[in-house]
């Protein structure tokens, strides 16, 4: 390897960039990354669960029963005249396979008596799944 020393009177400016050191540094960095990435991603030995893709059974549509502030009972949007009519409709629903979930929407200002009638009707009809629909509180409150 020879090195040019400026004693010969050549005052030319070398305008070519020597990229060999840059390539050497980049190759060293690449080797470091290739060695350290597998160590970082698998540093904790964990046995992962085995999962099979299974076809899930479709759920039937939920039944929504509403109770307004005056104690009126509604099957979706249809007002029911009596609790016996509600029991009759719920008996038809209870025979479905799989049985849908009955969701009760009770008005905040309603008395518990209206909601209690709906619960009793669900019990008399043999409904297994009953849920109450509530409104979530505002964020930050």
Domains plus CATH for the chain? 63-132 (3.30.420.270)
Q: What is the pLDDT along the chain (141 residues), one digit of tens a residue?
A: 555 655 555 667 777 888 888 899 999 999 988 887 776 665 556 666 666 666 666 566 899 999 998 889 999 899 999 999 999 999 999 999 889 999 999 888 888 899 999 999 999 999 999 998 888 777 765
- Mark out the alpha helices in the chain (DSSP H runs): 20-41, 83-94, 112-125
3-state helix, strand, coil in the chain (%, to 5): 35, 15, 50
């Amino acid at each position: 390897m020879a090195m040019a020393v400026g004693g010969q009177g050549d005052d030319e400016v070398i305008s070519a960039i020597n990229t060999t050191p840059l390539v050497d540094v980049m190759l060293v960095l690449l080797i470091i990354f290739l060695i350290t990435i597998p160590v970082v991603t698998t540093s904790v030995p964990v046995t992962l669960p085995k999962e099979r893709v299974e076809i899930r059974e479709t759920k039937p549509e939920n039944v929504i029963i509403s109770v307004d502030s005056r104690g009126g009972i509604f099957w979706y949007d249809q007002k029911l005249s009596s609790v016996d009519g509600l029991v009759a409709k719920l008996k038809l629903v209870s025979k479905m396979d799989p049985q849908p979930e009955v969701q009760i929407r009770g008005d905040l200002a309603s008395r518990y008596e209206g909601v209690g009638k709906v619960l009793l009707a669900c019990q008399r009809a043999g409904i297994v799944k009953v849920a109450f629909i509530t409104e979530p509180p505002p964020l930050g409150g």
